Amino acid sequence: MKIGVLGAGQLGRMMAISGYPLNHQFGFSGNSSDEPSALLGHMFALEDNADNIKYLVDFADVITYESENTNVEVVREISKNVPVYPGEKSLFTTQHRGREKALFNQLNIPCAPYQMVSSEQDLIDAVNTIGLPAILKTATEGYDGKGQFLMRNISEITEAWKSMNGVESILEGFVNFKRELSVIAVRGIDNNHKYYPLVENTHHDGILRFTIAPAQNIDPTVQKTAEHYMQTLLDEMDHIGVLTIELFETENGLVANEMAPRVHNSGHWSIDGANTSQFENHVRAITGMPLGDTTPTHSYCAMINIISKIGPTNTVLNMPNAHLHLYDKEERANRKLGHINITANSQAELDESIKKLKDFLP
Ligand code: AMP
């Protein structure tokens, strides 16, 4: 099939790399023709022609997207001619933190208490209801910790509201978590579901730096709970493709943070560490192919993001159990340029490998 991707970053690039062996073709609509996906398919760059989304739609049998910030109206228009997966409901829900949390509550998925905020007075009211500490976040378009203000004291109300630049926001109660986890699931057109194991994520300056897969010391009932949450979300949104949910592990169990209707950075380990990667499973799902097995190939995997600078990549290339993935991007502060996957058969082997790659960690 011909798969059209709205966006042309590293996620589209890795979808294409996984999709060619299945005999699919790819087209991308990015801003410019030097984006990471550009050489992996037909590139419909918007800088060349503002109508290029139309040409992408003409090219494609099915459309998918790389970002939850994709315009819902554009997707609705496209869907009149070509199927778009995941569909409008998944996109509409996941691009707004308030709608996301309302759905968590509707489906009895625990999440932080929250209140929507559109003025300084709203923020005062929300702080009175939720208490402090709390986190003020923009309702839409926040990523990598951008557009967030951690409030510890009532005296910070004016400063916190100012930092939102007047946009609709959400005040969330602070969750006292032990670890940050995420789970990735995929649902096919035939309503089949598959789940990857919970993974543990470490952020630095708001950016994911490091994932351990599977997360260690997870009780099987916790994995089952995560899968149950996922199943209810996939079914409720009639979601086709990969869905990711970021979770906090707390003393009282899992608490949902946010969702992404797409392949996710915390699933990049699966390229080298699972029988079928998240990218291949997304491609399989949206093209109506049977889903692939999600079982990890090793008991211990890790993913290290390469951020800002490429670093000493020969160290990676000289290790038998490390795999380098670069995205063809120029070095720039805080930019995701690639990642390294590590596979190991013991905790000791994993620790030893990570130590060799310490130059890539903050
Ligand atoms: P987010 O953009 O929602 O993923 O938030 C970025 C990071 O801020 C998360 O990975 C957490 O480390 C932290 N964070 C977000 N929301 C909360 C919360 N309600 N309580 C505690 N920490 C949070």
| pLDDT tens sequence across 75-107 | 999 999 999 999 999 999 999 999 999 999 999
Which stretches of 97-198 are assigned E, i.e. beta strand? 114-117, 134-138, 148-151, 169-173, 179-187, 193-195
d(CA 193, CA 184): 11
Q: Which CATH number fits domain 2-84: 3.20.20.70, 1.10.1060.10, 3.40.50.2000, 3.40.50.20?
A: 3.40.50.20
Using CA atoms, how far residue 67 sits from 40, 74, 168, 267, 293, in Å, is 18, 13, 20, 15, 25
Cα of 5 from ligand 1 centre, angstroms: 29
Counting ligand 1 atoms within 8 A of each CB, the residue from 69, 130, 135 with the most, and so the one to mutate, is: 135
Report pTM.
0.97
Question: For residues 244 and 235, is the Cβ–Cβ distance under 8 A?
Answer: no
Cα of 85 from ligand 1 centre, angstroms: 27
Which stretches of the chain are assigned E, i.e. beta strand? 2-6, 25-29, 42-43, 62-65, 114-117, 134-138, 148-151, 169-173, 179-187, 193-195, 199-204, 207-213, 241-250, 253-260, 300-307, 322-326, 336-344
Cα of 205 from ligand 1 centre, angstroms: 11
Which ligand 1 atom sits nearest the alpha carbon of residue 201?
Answer: 10
Specify the residue for token string 């997870």: 218
Counting ligand 1 atoms within 8 A of each CB, the residue from 257, 258, 259, 266 with the most, and so the one to mutate, is: 257
Cα of 257 from ligand 1 centre, angstroms: 7
Cα of 352 from ligand 1 centre, angstroms: 30
Specify the residue with its C-alpha closest to ligand 1, atom 1. Answer: 145
pLDDT number for residue 102: 98
Cα of 275 from ligand 1 centre, angstroms: 31
pLDDT tens digits, the chain, 362 residues: what are they?
999 999 999 999 999 999 999 999 999 999 999 999 999 999 999 988 888 999 999 999 999 999 999 999 999 999 999 999 999 999 999 999 999 999 999 999 999 999 999 999 999 999 999 999 999 999 998 766 678 999 999 999 999 999 999 999 999 999 999 999 999 999 999 999 999 999 999 999 889 999 999 999 999 999 999 999 999 999 999 999 999 999 999 999 999 999 999 999 999 999 999 999 999 999 999 999 999 999 999 999 999 999 999 999 999 999 999 999 999 999 999 999 999 999 999 999 999 999 999 999 99
d(CA 73, CA 97): 19
Superfamily of domain 113-173: ATP-grasp fold, A domain (3.30.1490.20)
* Domain spans, the chain: 2-84, 113-173, 179-360
The β-bridge partners of 195 are 185
d(CA 156, CA 66): 36
pLDDT number for residue 142: 74
Cα of 261 from ligand 1 centre, angstroms: 18
Question: For residues 186 and 278, is the Cβ–Cβ distance under 8 A?
Answer: yes
Q: Which residues line ligand 1 (CB under 6 A)?
A: 112, 135, 142, 145, 172, 174-175, 180, 203, 206, 246, 257-258
pLDDT number for residue 48: 87
Amino acid type, 66: E
Residue count of the chain: 362
Which ligand 1 atom sits nearest the alpha carbon of residue 175?
Answer: 20
Cα of 259 from ligand 1 centre, angstroms: 12
d(CA 283, CA 266): 18
Q: How far is CA 239 from the centre of its chain?
A: 15
- Please say whether the structural domain 179-360 has been given the CATH code 3.30.470.20: yes
pLDDT number for residue 49: 87
Which ligand 1 atom sits nearest the alpha carbon of residue 257?
Answer: 3
